[in-house]
Structure 1
């Protein structure tokens, strides 16, 4: 392979790096490690989700009391940090931005409420 050609492995590295930054920053927010962000409190009024067996223990007295990962802040930070330098002018830059966004999208699907 000549220098400058893209490959699937490089695409994966871009995606996994973006996902890791998004997840790590979102988790750090919920742990209080980053002063400029906080927990994601939008889940406090949601009903509990059923498990695979169709039951939820303690539904009658259950109330959300956790601190969810702030995935929105993680997305924004990842875009500002990971996408720096990628302007989308060339085909390669557009591909890199796409792979970064794919990684962020996957990280959102694994954002479980704690």
Structure 2
């Protein structure tokens, strides 16, 4: 019984290790975003704020309106899921830097200007 428990424990550890992929340079994808906010400006000038929480939750604020969703960073993409099924991804092959604005085209063809706050 004891060897079986040891094997199961090791298998579980290996599976969990595979979930936490570190990119070259020793950082977790999207780690610079945890607990931070992104200011997003659309091509027509509308702005919103995305508050990225550590547990993969995100809250978007558009003026007085708030929308909850999920976020993840993987495979050089930063993805958001809204309403449980609407997904949009941005290219994310390098960390955002605070105060620097980047122009990004999403997987849905939306062009936005994004600033890490």
Q: If the length of structure 2 is used for normalisation, what is the TM-score?
A: 0.23
Higher relative contact order (CA 8 A, sep 6+): 1
Structure whose residues are more often helix by fraction: 1
Q: If the length of structure 1 is used for normalisation, what is the TM-score?
A: 0.23
